Amino acid sequence: MNCERCRTMALKVVADADACDHFQGSDELWEKQGSQGSHCCGRSLWYGKTGVNSSALQGDERIVVRGDGTDAAPLTSCLRRKEATILNTAKIPENPSSPCSIHLQKLPHLTDYLPNLKPLPNPLEKNTLYHPPAGFYINQSEVVLGKIILDLSADSEAVSSHSPQVAYSRAGPRWQVFFDPKDIKAAIVTCGGLCPGMNTVIRELVVGLWEMYGVRQIYGVTAGYRGFYSRDPIELNPKLVHNWHKLGGTALETSRGGFDLNKIVDAIEHHGFNQVYIIGGDGTMRGAVNIFNEIQRRKLNIAVAGIPKTVDNDIGIIDRSFGFQTAVEMAQQAINAAHVEAESAVNGIGLVKLMGRSTGHIALHATLSSRDVDCCLIPEIDFYLEGEGGLFEFLEKQLKENGHAVLVVAEGAGQDMIPRTEAQKEERDESGNLVFLDFGAWLKSELKNWWARDHANELFTVKYIDPTYMIRAVPANATDNLYCTLVAYSAIHGVMAGYTGFVSGLINGNYAYIPVEEVAHARNEVNTKDHKWAWVRSVTNQPDFVKP
Ligand SMILES: Nc1ncnc2c1ncn2[C@@H]1O[C@H](COP(=O)(O)OP(=O)(O)O)[C@@H](O)[C@H]1O
Ligand SMILES: O=P(O)(O)OC[C@H]1O[C@](O)(COP(=O)(O)O)[C@@H](O)[C@@H]1O
Ligand SMILES: [Mg+2]
């Protein structure tokens, strides 16, 4: 039977021999014997007594059954009001690879190293704003598939190797939690570069913890990782953060570098934080893995959750990072301006540089949605300027045919073309990322040199627009704000349920929990072999840059 309330799979009701006629011969009636009126997932929880019969159950409003297998229908039929909540406490195998060949990525849990932690009923049950309806709680058996596009032909890899489908735990509230709200001291930190929506995530973590779970001790760690040990945390509450979703940047401030593992974990212990929410990109998530490992090593009752942030959208597994859509939308303004400038000049070229350290997602999506772009250069493709099949030859043709051209370049594109001094080759930012040279500015001067050399007597204009910081410093748009809210709430539910060392993110349109270790190393690069890149080429008509 599928329970209507929590939509679990078929459940086995284990019942006491004397409970009622339906259960004769079974082993055990309720998990807890003889207590009444406790609060759990069902609002009014009744625990049966050994030896009671069906008439003893008749007056009860609601009953909570914990089961692990067969049909619960006989039990509900014992009740006059026939209202039963069935919680699936069925243990799922660690690696359930059969019968549907699914591999569930194991999510770290506090009880992995603190086995004596006791679960509590979810405080949402008592929250007058929620009244958890049917299907509210997520069971540990609910998963989100990592891949939803499969090739079912016999010779495809998935079919021929019988490789299991990777699945992730579905995000959302659990009926049991491992934190008592009055004992929670939560910390929120933002690290790395800016991204639209960071303030929304902070706001929603504060509001969600406060309103949903009644947490009253919520702190912001300022200035990134270094802030744990070098700054006093600031107290946050819904009143303080209520407007933050309308602000770009991060009100907590951010920084690169400053990652000192022992100092950070010492500070977490010193401040008594037991929930740590870390908002950041790939570098930040690698730091979060180390923090989680150290906390485990010290056997601390502290949960760590990551919320992936990157305007570059270079983090793998998740559909996209928050703020990415806002960035693509903002990029349109720059492309439009470049187009107007180029069209209004004789032999005009509009050149726009967009962010993307090692991936060209913003450039790719901005190009596809604009339709005014004639060439899109990203770090994932090889290209060259001079000679047959090169950029200059293409632009010459475009200018001849249309009188103008628009170029979009990702900041990480063509970095190996720009001559660097020895010092520039070594230059790193505080986090150890290679400092890039300005490809847009370099390309502009190369374009001018080319034109002066080959077309000295003809007019030519290059208008270079660099909106990079402007794009990432804006507040999130409505879609991203919603995403930020749900990803923050998902993180809260996961931490409350005792999960740790995980990241909450969107996978194939559903919110899921992913081990942070996996996220820290999963890259999301533009696949230049798939149809999306082919579409870019068809929209722009740009060359394949294949040398003859
Ligand atoms: N491999 C790593 N191990 C531990 N901390 C790291 C690692 N890489 C980066 N960090 C830290 O994470 C923070 C943000 O990293 P950074 O690369 O600047 O931005 P992002 O997280 O946005 O990619 C910095 O404080 C940095 O020191
Ligand atoms: O903020 P900085 O230090 O100028 O760094 C700029 C970099 O930050 C980004 O906007 C985002 O990078 P991260 O997600 O790694 O923080 C990159 O696109 C860009 O290369
Ligand atoms: Mg990064």
Residue-level pLDDT at 184 = 98
Residue located nearest, by CA, to atom 1 of ligand 2: 193
Report the alpha-carbon distance of residue 219 to residue 234 in Å, rounded. 5
Which among 1-5, 61-65, 179-183 has the top mean pLDDT? 179-183
Residue-level pLDDT at 128 = 86
pLDDT digits (tens, 9 = 90+) for 46-74: 333 333 333 334 333 344 444 443 334 44
Report the alpha-carbon distance of residue 311 to residue 472 in Å, rounded. 7
The closest ligand to the CA of 379 turns out to be 2
pLDDT digits (tens, 9 = 90+) for 209-254: 999 999 999 999 999 999 999 999 999 999 999 999 999 999 999 9
Percent of the chain clearing pLDDT 70 (strictly above):
80
446 marked as binding residue:
no
Q: Identify whether the C-beta of residue 348 lies closer than 8 Å to the C-beta of residue 330.
A: no
Report the alpha-carbon distance of residue 508 to residue 346 in Å, rounded. 46
The closest ligand to the CA of 292 turns out to be 1
pLDDT digits (tens, 9 = 90+) for 293-308: 999 999 999 999 999 9
More confident site: 152 or 190 = 190
Query: Taking residues 105-110, what's their average pLDDT?
Result: 95
Cβ of 191 below 6 Å from ligand 2: no
pLDDT level of residue 32 (50, 70, 90 thresholds): very low
Let me know the angle formed at the C-alpha of 257 by 409 and 274, rounded to the nearest 5 degrees. 115
Residue-level pLDDT at 350 = 98
pLDDT level of residue 24 (50, 70, 90 thresholds): very low
Cα(232) to ligand 2 centroid in Å equals 26
Residue-level pLDDT at 26 = 30
pLDDT digits (tens, 9 = 90+) for 111-140: 999 999 999 999 999 898 888 888 899 998
Is the peptide bond preceding residue 419 cis, with omega within 30 degrees of 0?
no
Question: Which atom from ligand 2 is nearest to the alpha carbon of 282?
Answer: 15
Q: Identify whether the C-beta of residue 315 lies closer than 8 Å to the C-beta of residue 281.
A: yes
Cβ of 311 below 6 Å from ligand 1: no
Mean pLDDT computed over every residue of the chain: 85
Residue-level pLDDT at 159 = 65
Task: Check whether 25 has a pLDDT greater than 60.
Answer: no
Cβ of 412 below 6 Å from ligand 2: no
Cβ of 193 below 6 Å from ligand 2: yes
Question: Which atom from ligand 2 is nearest to the alpha carbon of 281?
Answer: 14
Cα 536–chain centre separation: 26
207 marked as binding residue:
no
7 marked as binding residue:
no
Cα 106–chain centre separation: 17
Query: Taking residues 18-28, what's their average pLDDT?
Result: 32
pLDDT level of residue 33 (50, 70, 90 thresholds): very low
pLDDT level of residue 82 (50, 70, 90 thresholds): very low
Residue located nearest, by CA, to atom 20 of ligand 1: 281
Question: Which atom from ligand 2 is nearest to the alpha carbon of 436?
Answer: 20
Question: Which atom from ligand 1 is nearest to the alpha carbon of 226?
Answer: 25
Which of 253-262, 385-394, 511-520, 525-534 shows the lowest mean pLDDT across its residues?
525-534
Cβ of 180 below 6 Å from ligand 2: no
Query: Taking residues 465-469, what's their average pLDDT?
Result: 98
Q: Identify whether the C-beta of residue 366 lies closer than 8 Å to the C-beta of residue 406.
A: no
Cα 57–chain centre separation: 45
The closest ligand to the CA of 358 turns out to be 2
pLDDT digits (tens, 9 = 90+) for 325-374: 999 999 999 999 999 999 999 999 999 999 999 999 999 999 999 999 99
Task: Check whether 402 has a pLDDT greater than 80.
Answer: yes
Residue-level pLDDT at 489 = 98
Report the alpha-carbon distance of residue 150 to residue 172 in Å, rounded. 26
Nearest to 233 by CA among 241, 224, 244: 224
Under DSSP, the state recorded for 528 is T
470 marked as binding residue:
yes
pLDDT level of residue 532 (50, 70, 90 thresholds): confident
Choose which residue among 190, 191, 291 to substitute to test ligand 1 binding: the one with the highest number of ligand atoms within 8 A of its C-beta. 191
Cβ of 372 below 6 Å from ligand 2: no
Q: Identify whether the C-beta of residue 407 lies closer than 8 Å to the C-beta of residue 369.
A: no
Report the alpha-carbon distance of residue 121 to residue 30 in Å, rounded. 16
Cβ of 353 below 6 Å from ligand 2: no
Residue-level pLDDT at 132 = 86
Choose which residue among 201, 228, 259, 289 to substitute to test ligand 1 binding: the one with the highest number of ligand atoms within 8 A of its C-beta. 259
pLDDT level of residue 100 (50, 70, 90 thresholds): low
Counting runs of H as helices and runs of E as strands, what totals does the chain give?
Answer: 19, 20
Cβ of 315 below 6 Å from ligand 2: no
Report the alpha-carbon distance of residue 330 to residue 474 in Å, rounded. 9
Q: Identify whether the C-beta of residue 223 lies closer than 8 Å to the C-beta of residue 255.
A: yes
Task: Check whether 291 has a pLDDT greater than 50.
Answer: yes
**H, E, C per residue of 290-344:** HHHHHHHHCCCCCEEEEEEECCCCCECCCCCCECHHHHHHHHHHHHHHHHHHHHC
Which tokens belong to 376? 């899109």
For ligand 3, a single-atom ion, the residues with CB < 5 A are 281-283
Task: Check whether 20 has a pLDDT greater than 70.
Answer: no
Active site members: 312
Which of 8-12, 151-155, 346-350 shows the lowest mean pLDDT across its residues?
8-12
Non-local CB neighbours of 481 within 8 Å, separated by 6+ positions: 197, 200, 245, 475
